[in-house]
Chains A and B, each alone.
Chain A
């Protein structure tokens, strides 16, 4: 395997990874980014806006409180404080990279009507409803003028570690079919969430399979809060493509079969603008009560009262999506929507400086858990996290890389990994198709570890996921002549990661016998701060499995209180 040496490698080329790379290259002239899809194809392109407290009349301390409450008091207040305090500065700094946020004719930043779910002030800042794409495009453009090397369409198979110090990444270059080892002093994991574990009922891109999270765990980091899976209330029925929260913050209503705005039952004050977990549970409850449209598994998102002008101004792309993917025009028709997996609150445990327990291995963004999002994330805070902590991780990596030695190239481990991949390529004689196993995994997770959970269902899920983990090792690789875009092999490797993460999600969900944020147990419907007001940690147990533990939550000014909307 060819060895290529860098100082800092960013694993993942989404908003977090690109921002980290942009920052890291200020400190080092040997930075690389590696990603299994091209930077312009990442899931971050699907994001619509981000939040920051930058307007007159708003202040970041309010944003802290909104986020702490939104997280159902599971978010670490020091991390949240850092996020909100630096929100304005780091967000507006993006404009230096050729991005421009939408403005009004008078030059002020265009405002959405209301704050997004769970926020008391309109904090959104955006470029039409394509902010994610614009951030990625402009950061990618910026990187073209730096010395950063981008290894796009390289699939990372392992994070190699020696004596708890990171060494580098073994990768398959999908374009030429060769394997490479990328050696580094510091690796930043920015690979996003694990959404496809809930395939197909996830708003995530099909490429979002949690590889970085899983590989970091296998490299020795701890994962945190895996049980907290965010279900976004408004995904299009059928394709589960996201109808952005911007619809609701622009004034949309949710209606059941009887035409009622049923959310007033579940969130009397905020109604449709309660947090995502509250709204998802509201919709799911209505569906289970039989109040879905025509008794089916969806309700209506109604924007007709907003009028064509407002819709065309604020929601042009969402309207296009609804027209193209479900054939309805939000100006004249209600849109069928249902909850779907959307965000992974849990991830690699890191400090405020984005460092994990493995020396030289950092993580940021959705792949990490600092924890900023706690048990539930507010809309717009995810992209904010990518920018603020992407930047911080890049800066930290730059400082670390100066101190850390290059380390030796771990030839034995590289050889072993090459042999492992070659073996999978040549000896996968099973009959299963990777996508079929993925679908089965999604079915198990959606049925048993979804919006509403119950102990016995989760226990069943754990058993089924273990079987699927075994079944994944029998996924067929029929095309054996090369590794070039060998999606069978990639499906198999992704499944190894996905099934492991799924088992963790279920195990942690079973362990947490309370309801908090997005984790709702029918058998334990109350929040229990005394027993469960702590993070759930997951570590390798040394025997190929994992053990659970706890970690205290940081509370500074805002102590856990009753959470209603």
Chain B
């Protein structure tokens, strides 16, 4: 039985990457939320348990993960704002590339700030 031949999506242009980015960021945020619930849930074990968990979150690796989280939130949020702008008619979808530039600019700026703040913690300390 022959497997049906379905060719992969083409082209992978700006819009498609943004779509993929939004998906990945969304998944990342959900994963974070689960972790966050687990972390907060450690309070059931009392102050010591909670403090123990919080201490472990100061490692460079944890800070790196927090950075990833911020980038994910920024990406997903800015993308979402892009959608809302188009849905509510603040921008025309035909100009989606221009809109992306603005979104990328804002998002990129916030991400850069986050990076600069987080860098020392990740690399040294």
A contacts B: CB pair < 8 Å: no
Chain A residues engaging chain B, CB cutoff 8 angstroms: none
Residues of B within 8 A of A (CB): none
